[in-house]
Amino acid sequence: MKSINFSTGIREYKINEDESRVIRINLSDLNMGSRIEEMKEKINALDQKYGSIKKPTSKQLAEMDSSIRSIIDYAFGTDVCTPAFGEVNVMSPVEGTPLFRKFFEAFLPALKADVNAMKIKKPEIRPEVQKYLEKPQISSVQPIAALAQPCSQPAGIDISSLTKEQKTALLAQLIS
């Protein structure tokens, strides 16, 4: 089977220098920003739901873990949680902060820097194609006023007898 290779905008991030724990994010995904904003809203809603519980039960912790994992994976369009957290509950405290928040403290600045560093390159156009993309020079020929007016005939106006310059002038008048 033949392989097709092209740049897809995917960037890889190792978790704590571990080659077996790699996150692959498509930086060129134009929907990622809105999904990240949606993720923040959903996590804030979960915080409202569970935040007042002083001592959550193991069932509640499992529900939070499952919900946050699905929200994060959806936001990035790929499985981020398995390489980042493994089987550890994302609510596990690390220095008094939930594990997933510690992850984002490290990950989001790196992700933002990489997205900002991406540059959209102007496509290279082959010389034989360039002539078809050049803008036509609009001549100084006056447009034919009668043809630029709305037509009362249902069949339209026959412009086949116009010269190329007249057609260009008519088109320029219609699109301006």
CA–CA dist 80, 73 (Å, integer): 6
What is the pLDDT confidence band of residue 46, given thresholds at 50, 70 and 90? very high
In whole angstroms, what is the distance from residue 57 CA to residue 74 CA? 26
> pTM for the whole thing?
0.64
**pLDDT higher than threshold 70 for residue 51:** yes
Model confidence over 70-120: pLDDT tens digits? 999 999 999 999 999 999 999 999 999 999 999 999 999 999 888 888 765
| Residue 71 host element (H or E) | helix 58-76
Q: Which pLDDT score is estimated for 160?
A: 75
> CA dist 50 to 44, 57, 90, 102, 121, Å?
10, 11, 14, 19, 46
Residue corresponding to tokens 């990240």? 36
Does 15 score more than 90 pLDDT? Answer: yes
